Structure formats: C-alpha cells, structure tokens
Amino acid sequence: MTAIADQSHSTSAPGDEPEFEKLAKRVDDAMRALAGLDPMSRAIAEEVKASVESIHRAGLVSIVRRLKAEEATREALFELVDDPVVHLLLSLHEIVRPDPMTLANRVLADVRPQLHSHGGDVALVRIEDGTAFVRLEGACNGCSMSSVTLRNLVENALTESVPGVSAVEVLPNEPSPTLISVESLRIGLNPTGEGWVKVGAAADIPVGDITAACLTASSGDQAEVIVVNIAQRLTAYRNECAHEALPLDNAMLDVSNGTLTCPWHGFCYDATSGECLTAPGAQLEQLPLRVDEGDVWVRVTT
Ligand code: FES
C-alpha cells in the first residue's frame, strides 16, 4: 500500500526524467506491494497491469515497425535502442532480444557454480559467425576426464541455450601473457610518493594490449588494475567495469578506434579516457600513472 501511495506524487516534470535506477526501483516496489495484496485485489491489479502493458506493447511494435521501414529513421531507432532505458523497455516487451554476448554470459553464469565447485572457470571472449570463443581456466584446462566433462558442460550450455551459437572454440590459455605476477608487484615502493606502486618496466607493458595486475601499496591498500597501452600511451584503470564491476582482464581492445569493450555485457569505453560510449555518464575509474626512469608506477590510494 505504501509503495503505491508513494508513487502517486512521482510524476516527473517535462525534461526532468527520473534516472534508470529510480524507474527500476519503482517497478520493484510496486511488484512487492502487489504480492502483499489479497488474491482478489491481486488478480484485479495484475489484469490492469497486463492490459496496460498490452496497449504499450502494441504501440511500441507500431513505432518500431515505422522506424525500421525507412533508412533515415532506422538509424534513429538503433540509437534509441542503445539507450539503457529504451533497451529495457523493448526487452520487457520482447521486442528486442538480449544480444548474444549478454545471453551467453547469463548462460555461463548458470554453469559457473558447477565449474567453481571443481576448481575451474570460463571467460567468454567474443562471439563471431556463430562461434563462441572462450578461455578456460583451472580444472577446465587439460585432458583429464573431469576437464573434458567441464568443457562439454560449457559447450552444451552455449550451443543449446544461445540462439545463433552453434560451436564453441577454446582459445589458447597462455596463463595471461600480460598478467604480471603478484609477487613481482610487491617490490619497489617509491619512497617519495604515498600510494604509488611499481607495475613493472614500461618496456614490458605490451603495446596494443591490456595488462592486468594486483597492486599493493605500503599502506596495505590493494587494487586490481589494468594498464592499457595504445601506441605507447599508457592509461591505468581500476579493474572494474562501470556496469556491474566485473573484471576487464579479458576486455577487447580495438587499437584501430581506441575502444575497449567489456567481455561480460559489451559496454564499450574510450580506452584512453575511460568514458563509456554505451551508457553516457558511466566511466571507468582512472588511476594516476607515471613513468619514472623506465618504470611504470600507479597510485592505488586516493
Ligand atoms: S560488467 Fe556488464 S558490461 Fe561490463
């Protein structure tokens, strides 16, 4: 009751649109309130909801059809679909389907507990021409019976549950050629700078690649970071996507257009500024970086 009463005053003024999280919370609150109603009231409320939704769906289908019909308006439609709120609305009405990367990551999230229980893991790298490219870790690697079983589990889950994926290819797993060992990062605290930690020699940070590292400052502050090297220009970020804070070790770095794409749900960033190009306003957390006598230092405390 309270949630429904609270919503009555929340009409936004034109140009003062509520944020995505507030909209989602409002729906969640209303659904919780709905669950608390007696069966008769709940049935009436659900019928109201269903009938309003069917009007919305019919209207949205007409809008999308009209926009898709002309080349000029199709472009605008694609831009609109990139807006998270519009995307959510169209997904709720099943007018757009989640992209294959999102679907595949959801499927992998379901099998991951089973992999973890055997000491393994999987990371989706990309989907191309019907093939999902993955990296397998821990017990999923190798040729024992259990690793073969875990690989089959991943393969079956992806090919059976993600439309358009008919094959799975395992990428070679040189244990992260760009991953710097934790031990080597505990060395050399710069005496002149609070919180600065040496990542390693600048010459060892591969060009056109992402280097992941776990850094520990003398204060004990720790940070998982990535260092992006585009044409010798180095930028450090906290190793967390702005979407759901998942790691970016396996992000795709496209040096041709300077973008970095999160492997989990495809958020795309400007690799040199961290600005999110998928969801305007979102941003990777950039960490101060400097090169001193050939060594790369990152400050992990704020
Ligand atoms: S965690 Fe979802 S896009 Fe990165």
Q: DSSP secondary structure string, the chain?
A: -HHHHHHTT-PPPTT-PPPHHHHHHHHHHHHHHHHTS-HHHHHHHHHHHHHHHHHHHHHHHHHHHHHHHSHHHHHHHHHHHHSHHHHHHHHHTTSSPPPHHHHHHHHHHHHHHHHHHTTEEEEEEEEETTEEEEEEEETTSSSSHHHHHHHHHHHHHHHHHSTT--EEEEPP--S-TTPPPHHHHSS-B-TTSTTEEEEEEGGGS-TTEEEEEEEE-TTS-EEEEEEEEETTEEEEEES--TTT----TTPEEETTTTEEE-TTT--EEETTT-BBSSSTT-B--EE-EEEETTEEEEE---
Q: Is the CB of 241 under 6 A from ligand 1?
A: yes
Residue among 124, 243, 268 to mutate when testing ligand 1 (max atoms within 8 A of CB): 243
Please tell me if the CB atom of residue 57 comes closer than 6 angstroms to any atom of ligand 1.
no
> Which numbered atom of ligand 1 lies nearest the CA of 242?
4
237: Cβ below 6 Å to ligand 1?
Answer: no
Identify the residue whose tokens are 């970016």. 248
Q: Convert the pLDDT of each residue in 247-282 to its tens digit.
A: 898 888 888 888 998 888 888 899 989 988 888 778
Q: Is 267 in the pocket of ligand 1 (CB under 6 A)?
A: yes
Kindly state if the Cβ of 282 falls inside 6 Å of ligand 1. no
pLDDT band at 185 (very low <50, low <70, confident <90, very high): very low
| Atom of ligand 1 at shortest range from CA of 267 | 3
Is the shortest distance between the CB of 279 and ligand 1 below 6 Å?
no
Going from the Cα of 244 to the center of ligand 1, the distance in angstroms, rounded, reads 5
User: What is the predicted pLDDT for the residue at 184?
Assistant: 39
Q: Whose CA is nearest to atom 1 of ligand 1?
A: 244
For ligand 1, mutation pick of 103, 262, 268 (most atoms within 8 Å of CB): 262
Residue 99 Cβ contacting ligand 1 at under 6 Å:
no
Q: Which of 98-107, 135-144, 170-179, 288-297 has the highest mean pLDDT?
A: 288-297
CA separation, residue 147 to residues 9, 36, 55, 76, 211 (Å): 57, 47, 50, 47, 27
Give me the pLDDT at residue 140, please.
58
| Residue 1, pLDDT score | 38
Distance 124 CA to ligand 1 centre (A): 12
Which atom in ligand 1 lies closest to the alpha carbon of residue 244?
1
Cβ of 243 less than 6 Å from ligand 1: yes
The dihedral of CA 96, 81, 284, 282: what is its sign?
negative
Residue 211 has pLDDT above 90, yes or no: yes
Q: Is the pLDDT of residue 130 over 70?
A: yes
Indicate the length of the chain as a whole number: 302
Task: Give pLDDT, residue 78.
Answer: 78
d(CA 261, ligand 1 centre) in Å? 9
- Tell whether ligand 1 has an atom less than 6 A from the beta carbon of residue 262: yes
Mean pLDDT across 126-139 = 80
The pLDDT score that the predictor gives to residue 178 is: 42
**What is the pLDDT at residue 210?**
93
Measured in Å, residue 274 CA sits from the centre of ligand 1 at 14
Cα of 4 vs centre of ligand 1, distance in Å, is 32
The finding on whether 244 has its CB within 6 A of some atom of ligand 1 is yes
